[in-house]
Structure 1
């Protein structure tokens, strides 16, 4: 995050939370996200710039993007019960919940300052932002409730879970620009979904090859590469199917961890996932061709599809 984004986040944290311990803890969470080199605010700012925006309020909007995304990241870690190195997972859970509430309260409170009815003040419609957040929550529910059975289910879930968040980060930038045509907005929304799918597949491929508890197999998730694995596992690696069906315990499955990782590498699931990822990247690049070249566009590409 850029220095002015961090300073803006700290400003609103100081305004809303004067209890010293909670104020300090929330800033620890922010700094952890900064160490990760979070790019959410860069997406908001670069979209604003590449579409011709020049609002002096864009850095405030970008800071709010980081605030709400950090709250959602923390919720995701609590639901998955992993990422134990993060300060919001190592502190008392009650403190983490207060931190999440703090970020959400700050986000909604500051969002209202954009919607004063003053024609000289750019607006960020709360209803549209809430709709995008609700879609992301819907996608998260699909991810954790075991309803994903097919590749189509997976793509729909990712469009809602990851794509809606990319769309939100973009919206926080382009909503501050007047007179954008609907066709341009529709292309940017489709681009957001493509970027979300590209990023999620990349994360899922990486998580499947991990040796620790964050490996998605241990959580019995059904990501794109895992759906591919499960098709052949009854014949090729039956203990995986048995584990997913609850006929083998996690402890017994862990005894076959190295064999399972070897099966993952030999199965072709990683290559298949990368092919699907490449198809969405090709579509994203075609959509980007409709946007004039600029340094802002270069920055947007760098922080999204690389």
Structure 2
């Protein structure tokens, strides 16, 4: 969950940059919704910093800015997918929501630039690296939107860019505040974050393919890993997924088969296949994690909120 002091810092930033009362109140509603959801982004930033021996007085600001930036990316994702209809950013005026996204992103740029200028001990890579990571995630999101995923490799490349880059961003917000951190440790953290992002995205895609509501990836004709598996399966007894994706079945016709579709997915082996791929990424993440220096209890807490649950399920 987001710690109360981080929520207060996020609200303080809104007060600092937004004088218009209606937009100010709207952005604070966005923040409260995200806080109630139980976001872990700020904790990832803080635990990265703490486990690698950081002691920056600016870590709370960095954690708050991590939450603000990734909240803006969540909002953009919902606008593009047209789901999560009950969220305050989906029910508000689209023009207001877009202004809110701009406020969050420009506040991040301003705050982090000011921090870097005022802190001679900050890493000179700070803003350049963070910007590159966010741009990589946008490129991954575009691949997810433009229906260009055909193979497993396409999918894995997409989630590394889209999700891995955001995990790298959250970790970088923590370790780039540590002066003189060695390059090997930073490179290892980057690789680990990539794997964690991919592990998490696989979890999401497995869950989403089994739910038959507006969040279902099948209904939106997305090409996630479990769906790629299903599209490659030519089963004359259940041709409806291929027919829906090719346009032979309408949305309404496909939805009427949702119960048998879920049973088909559960029996198809697609979930087991995705878990195997996820397991390989968990093994890689563990190797990298074990090679990292780390201070207790922060190292264990970092693992607990990133890929500890998936590892426990794998072992089980």
Normalising by structure 2, we get a TM-score of 0.94
The structure-2 alpha-carbon separation of the partners of 1:22 and 1:290, relative to structure 1 and needing over 3 Å to count, comes to same
Q: What SS class does the counterpart of residue 235 from structure 1 fall into?
A: coil
Q: What SS class does the counterpart of residue 148 from structure 2 fall into?
A: coil
Pairwise CA distance, 1:125: 2.3
The CA deviation string for residues 134-169 of structure 1, in whole angstroms up to 9 with x for no partner, is 000000000110010011001000000000000000
- Cα distance in 1 for residues equivalent to 2:47 and 2:106: 26
- Any gaps of 5 or more consecutive residues in structure 1? none
Partner of 1:297: 299
- Cα distance in 2 for residues equivalent to 1:236 and 1:221: 22
Q: How does 1:28-67 map to 2 (within 5 A)?
A: 28-67=29-68
Partner of 1:147: 148
- Cα distance in 1 for residues equivalent to 2:232 and 2:141: 24
Pairwise CA distance, 1:294: 1.2
Pairwise CA distance, 1:211: 2.2
**1:234–1:241 CA contact under 8 A, matched in 2:** no
The CA deviation string for residues 200-249 of structure 1, in whole angstroms up to 9 with x for no partner, is 00000110111211110000001011111111145342111011111211
Q: How does 1:201-280 map to 2 (within 5 A)?
A: 201-280=202-281
Q: How does 1:23-172 map to 2 (within 5 A)?
A: 23-116=24-117, 118-119=119-120, 125-172=126-173
Number of residue-to-residue matches in the alignment: 306
Pairwise CA distance, 1:91: 1.6
The CA deviation string for residues 106-146 of structure 1, in whole angstroms up to 9 with x for no partner, is 11111111121652566672221110000000000001100
- Cα distance in 2 for residues equivalent to 1:241 and 1:223: 14
* More moved, 135-144 vs 283-292: 283-292
- Cα distance in 2 for residues equivalent to 1:122 and 1:55: 12
- Cα distance in 2 for residues equivalent to 1:119 and 1:214: 46
- Cα distance in 2 for residues equivalent to 1:269 and 1:46: 34
Match status 1:2 vs 2:3: yes
Match status 1:11 vs 2:12: yes
- Cα distance in 2 for residues equivalent to 1:89 and 1:304: 28
**2:54–2:177 CA contact under 8 A, matched in 1:** yes
Alpha-carbon RMSD across the aligned residues, in angstroms, is 1.4
Partner of 2:311: none
Pairwise CA distance, 1:83: 0.8
Pairwise CA distance, 1:303: 1.1
